[in-house]
Amino acid sequence: MARLTREEPKKPAELTEADALRLAQQGDAAAFERIYELHRRRVYSLCLRMVSNTTEAEDLTQEAFLQLFRKIGTFRGESAFSTWLHRLAVNVVLMRLRKKTLPATSLDETADADDSGEGPRRDFGAADLRLTGAVDRMNLQRAIETLPQGYRAVFVLHDVQGYEHNEIADIMGCSVGNSKSQLHKARMRLRELLHERERDRAREKRRAEADADEEPIDTDA
């Protein structure tokens, strides 16, 4: 009958983030739930965009919140709480990706063909992605999956989740300039990938049309 004598239900929805943080530091269950409730979608979306697998994204979300709650007593409010949480989440994701795919791409990766400082160079004459219909959500998600980790993280944080470069610098532990540079490279790589897919699709279409043309006519009919 233990559950029949439960205390008056707490209402996490009534707690502000500041109240929830204060209470969570005292081990209050409703406060933890409130914090989870406030940030779960954003953290899960970030994980999902980074790993493209719902089970793994849930696992990473759980891990990120677990690390957060373990360390919540040390949060002193020097930075925004959400930035702190997202820094943790990004680190959890990057750690996982590093374990999975070695060698990893450093956040400070510079050995890139686009890094010569000469401005835009590739696919200059190609048709706009929008006009070819290459940039739909599915195509973009697939292309994001193939980006190196550092590019992927900055692109997801900036262009997908809407963070500013100074926030990303804080989350990723890099400079604002580095964040901008990573984003630029990420976009260049994405553009390249999307154009490549567009070309592949066009090639396949032409091949299919050619095969159809070469099909022998059924003389029995």
- Tell the smallest beta-carbon distance from residue 200 to another protein (Å): 17
What gap in Å lies between CA 132 and CA 128, rounded to an integer?
6
What gap in Å lies between CA 189 and CA 186, rounded to an integer?
5
- Tell the smallest beta-carbon distance from residue 132 to another protein (Å): 10
- Tell the smallest beta-carbon distance from residue 58 to another protein (Å): 5
Classify 52 in phi/psi space as left (phi over 0), alpha (psi -120 to 50) or beta: left
Shorter beta-carbon distance to another protein: residue 196 or 209: 196
What gap in Å lies between CA 158 and CA 179, rounded to an integer?
9
| Terminal Cα-to-Cα distance of the chain (whole angstroms) | 80
- Tell the smallest beta-carbon distance from residue 215 to another protein (Å): 37
The residues of the shown chain that bind another protein, judged by CB under 8 A, are 1, 3-13, 27-30, 32-33, 36, 40-42, 44-45, 48-49, 57-58, 61-62, 65-66, 69-70, 117-120, 123-130, 135-137, 140-141, 155, 159-162, 180-181, 183-184, 187, 190-191
Torsion of CA 34, 39, 44, 47, to 10 degrees: -130
Determine contact, residues 69/136, Cβ cutoff 8 Å. Answer: no
Shorter beta-carbon distance to another protein: residue 104 or 176: 176
Shorter beta-carbon distance to another protein: residue 111 or 212: 111
- Tell the smallest beta-carbon distance from residue 26 to another protein (Å): 8
What gap in Å lies between CA 130 and CA 121, rounded to an integer?
19
Shorter beta-carbon distance to another protein: residue 27 or 173: 27
